[in-house]
Every structure is written in C-alpha cells, then in structure tokens.
Chain A
Amino acid sequence: MDKEQNNEIGSLANVRHVVLVLSGKGGVGKSTITTGLALALRQAGNKVGILDVDLCGPSIPRMLSVGRPDVHLCDAGWVPVYTDAQKSLALMSIGFLLDDPDKAVVWRGPKKTALISQFVSDVAWEELDVLLVDTPPGTSDEHLAVLENLKKHRVDGAVLVTTPQAVSTGDVRREITFCKKTGVPILGIIENMSGFVCPHCSECSNIFSKGGGEELAKLTGSVFLGCVPLDPQLSSSMEEGKDFMELFSNSATSTAIGGISQTLLQRLQTT
C-alpha cells in the first residue's frame, strides 16, 4: 500500500488535471487536436504534458518534431521529453520505448495492456497544469488499461473528437456509452474537419458535412466545445512538427483551437 502511494507521488501527484482525448473513430484528428490544444494551453501560460498511448500508430512525436529521443529513467520513472527549454510542454510517447519505429507493433490485447499499465504509472511528470492523454481509436484493451491505471490517481474527464459525418458521430455515440459505463465525465465534444474554405475563392465547402458534432452534443446532453475547420496549414504544420498556434496565430483555425482550450480550462477549473 505504502509503496503504491509513493509510486503515485512520483508520477501524477503534481499533475493538476488529467484529460483523455477519445474518439470511437480513427483518423478524426485526435492527435492533431491533442497537439493543438497543448500548444494553445501552453501559449496561455500553462504547463502541459501529453501522454501518447497509441501503440500501433503513435503520431505525436512527429507533430511536435521530437523525433525519437532516448528516454531516461530516474528514480521516479521515465523522464518525459521536453519540447522547449522552459519545460512548458512535456511529451511521453509509448513510441519512444519501441525498438524500431518503422516496425509494426503486432501485439494482442494482453501484451498491450501489460505495457500500457506500466507505462501510465511510470512517467515522472513534474508540475503540470494539464496532462492530455491521446488514445488510439476504439473502445478496447488500451482504453480499459489506461483508465484502470489513471483512475488510481484521478481523471477529470474526456474530450471527444468527431468529424461532422454521421459515419463518424455514430462511432462517437458508442464512445459516449463507453464513458458512461466506465464513469468518465464527458468534458465536451469537438467537431474537427468542419468545413473547408477554398484559399483561391474563399468558398466554404463542407467536405465531411457540417454540424454533426453539435447535433451529437445536443442529443447526448454534452457540452459542445467548438468546431475546428479543415485547414491545409494545420495539416502541414503537424506534418512538419511546427508550432501552428504561434506561426498562424491570426488564422481562424488557431482562434478556434484557442477558444476551445479556454473553454476546456474553465470546465476543468469549475468542475
């Protein structure tokens, strides 16, 4: 018992808020939104951490252009990688622990559960205002493992990411049930890839339809946190690992992400 408590002090005791980023659907932009929110929260003066538990496809290291650093072990556990000298944005990705980044991780559930359980409780986070946990798509082994282990400390709640189409909101509805069944409060829903403004003629096309996220929020009685448009500058910044929030601070997209991060922060502080 004592030992377990010590362990927690080492890992999550100095973390104020823990937020899961979830989506039943793949490729809706969980990692992009996680990175965007982290950059926005940092810009607003918070200390932010990202925990990337997507074993089969960790994307965050690339989005923050940290590549494949050597991670070090200290007494309290794995030392996260800092993206800046001020240590305002820390990242720990399960990808860092794999031998060969190009090799597929072909593991069945129990093996993933074992690694994730260890991983979640063994990161030596310093003081953080918000820890964002980026997850793989679905409602399976990884999610249960993450929750079981984070719950020993605390989980403030989950942010659900969807794209506007019914095909995507349909999967996110199932994720909402997952949250209810596992007792995770839903902090809100974000609609990503919502409309595309043609850079040539400014015509807005709803490539993946429009309004599905907001509708879903209404239907399920959840808070709608906002829309993030499709923006080639956002995708290229993520591809190249550049700080989109700083580079395009005046764009509609960065304003949207900034707004969502503020609403989220308020939700965290009041609940």
Chain B
Amino acid sequence: MADVPDNAPEHCPGTTSEKAGTSASCQGCPNQSLCASGATKTPDPAIAEIGEKLSSVKHKILVLSGKGGVGKSTFSAHLAHALASDSTKEVALLDIDICGPSLPRILGVEGEQVHQSGSGWSPVYVEDNLSVMSIGFLLSSPDDAVIWRGPKKNGMIKQFLRDVDWGELDYLIVDTPPGTSDEHLSIVQYLSSTHVDGAVIITTPQEVSLQDVRKEIGFCRMVKLPIIGVVENMSGFVCPKCKNTSEIFPPTTGGAEKMCQDFNLTLLGKVPLDPRIGQSCDEGKSFLSEVPDSPAADVYRTIVHSIQEYCSKRVTGDQDTC
C-alpha cells in the first residue's frame, strides 16, 4: 500500500514504492534522500511489535461501514456487551474513530481517564471483563475537536494497538469511522502480522447507504479482509401505539438482503428501529439488559451467536493450516 507523507509532492509514488526517491516528482521533496536510501521500503517495525502484543488476543473483529451514522458504534458496543455476558470471556473494544469517538458515551464511561502503567496505557473498564480504549478518554473536554490530518491519526492508532495493556483477551472488537481512508488502511496494515477473524459490515436499508457500503466491501476484498457478514440496522419501525410497521429508511433497491445475494455474503440479521436503543446509548446503558425481551434484542442475540460460531470455526480452521 502506497504511503505518502504529509509533506510529499502531489505525485509522490509512495515511500514503499520501487520508484521512491528516484521518480521525477521526488525532485525537491524533503524526504527524497531518505526514500532513495531504501530505509522506507522495509516494513514498519511497529507491525511486528503489534503482532507480538496482540498474540494474546484470540479473536479480532472489525466493525465497518462505508456510511456514517448507520450504527457501527451502537453495534460494536452491544456485540461487546453480549460477548461479555459470559463472565469467563475477556472482551475489549478499540475505538479508532479519532474525529468522532462515540463509544465512551455509549458505554457510560465518558469522562474517565486512561492510566499509564509499567506495561502501557490501561484501558477503561466498563465491567470486570469488558474494557475499552478510545481517544475520547484523552480529550480534556467534550468540546475538544481532534483536527488531525491522516498521518497523525495513524500514529494514534499505532499507539492504541502497541502501547495499550490489553492483557489476555478472547475478543478484541475494533469500531471504525465511516469511509475507506487513513484509519481503515492503517488498522488493516498494523494488524497484518496478526490473525484477524474478519469484518462485520453495518448498513441501513436505503440505496444511499448501500452504495457506500458496496465500496467498503470492495475495500475488504482489496485488502483481503474476510467478511463475517452484514447487519442491516434501522430496518423498519414498529409504532409503539398501533404496532404497524413503517419503513422509515425504505429498502428501495432490495436492502441488505439483495446486496448480500449479489456479493454472496451472509446476512447476519435485521435490527429494527427502536427508540429505546438510541435512548440506552445516550444513557450509556446496554439495551440488551435494559429491554431484554424486545424484538430488537432477540435479533442482536441471534447475530452475536452467528459471530461467535464463525469465530470458533475460524480457530479450528487455522490450526489445520498453521
């Protein structure tokens, strides 16, 4: 993957490319001599360090979507809650949405501080077996904006993976920002020396959302990231008074179901719109324990079960091949 520094000229071939330091556009670039020396073509030593650090993590799951606001963080948080409801499992969440970290609030740990210990940053614990790391914990006020360009965001993600004392984990869930840019490339690159189980892709039913999500699927295929399945969120709304269903975000092109058929992907489930989900998130509580008997909670549990099953299969599959 081409790496282009912030101060590089427009047609920079990428620091890891064959032509680094020698192409016509490298003339006058402050990095030219460094690139020409070949030092930039060797892999980032951090990748190996991260591999070492995360060797005690059994399963790694990325939560992705090309589109913003479809419920990635809500899903990540509830997946974590559901997995951690088994008290024998250790679960952690990593929020790499640097400009819009929502997990601290959704998990009810906003305003908590990250502590430094001998073995690195200690994540914030939501439950005994559920920890979370987010840039939200490093900001001094809720008004603080992180106005960072790509390279600085990448540095932060590297630190989150390498310098956080994650400990022994059964699951590490990574919540991502919308799009297919720096954060996504970095997380895949930094995790390249470890085994990632795969990605869960979140979408809403409308075409405006699906058209961005298709691109994300293309991204996963490009970087060879397996896709565990797709979750359709905000799928229909049941009026609490008359019990009639309204399609607030209508699936005019067949929704996630059609897209999964087209791309030969598993549809993990359709989570209906329920005002109590958003409310639980605002209050930092788990919807699954607040309203356990709702249809949406049922769907969540089915989805989590499929993901658990997928991950356990991957473990045996890997042992065969390793």
Residues of chain A touching chain B, judged by Cβ–Cβ distance below 8 Å, are: 24-28, 31, 56-57, 59, 62-63, 102-114, 136-141, 143-144, 163, 165-168, 170-171, 173-178, 181-182, 196, 198-201, 203, 205-209, 230, 232, 235-236, 238-240
Contact = CB atoms under 8 A, between A and B. Distances in A.
Given A57-B67, A108-B185, A109-B6, A201 B241 contact: yes
Given A56-B215, A196-B246, A26 B100 contact: yes
Interface string B203-237: 01011110110111011001000000000000001
Contacts of A111: 4
Contact of B73 (A109, A167, A203, A235): A167
A141 B212 contact: no
B278 A207 contact: yes
B181 interface: yes
Given A62-B207, A106-B219, A110-B12, A26 B278 contact: no
Nearest to B219: A104
B285 interface: no
A25 to B, nearest CB: 6
A25 B208 contact: no
Interface stretch (B116-124, B143-151, B191-199): B143-151
B218 to A, nearest CB: 4
B242 A26 contact: no
Contacts of B185: 106, 108
A139 B99 contact: yes
A170 B242 contact: no
Interface residues of B, number: 70
A196 B242 CA distance: 14
Interface of B: 3-6, 8, 10, 12, 66-70, 73, 98-100, 102, 105-106, 142-151, 153, 177-182, 184-185, 204, 206-209, 211-212, 214-216, 218-219, 222, 237, 239-242, 244, 246-250, 252-253, 273, 275, 278-279, 281-282
A106 B239 contact: no
A48 to B, nearest CB: 20
B208 A238 contact: yes
Given A106-B222, A207-B278, A209-B282, A170 B142 contact: yes
Nearest to A24: B100
A96 B237 CA distance: 35
Contacts of A62: 207-208, 211
A57 B215 contact: yes
A206 B143 CA distance: 26
Contacts of A104: 66, 180, 215-216, 218-219, 222
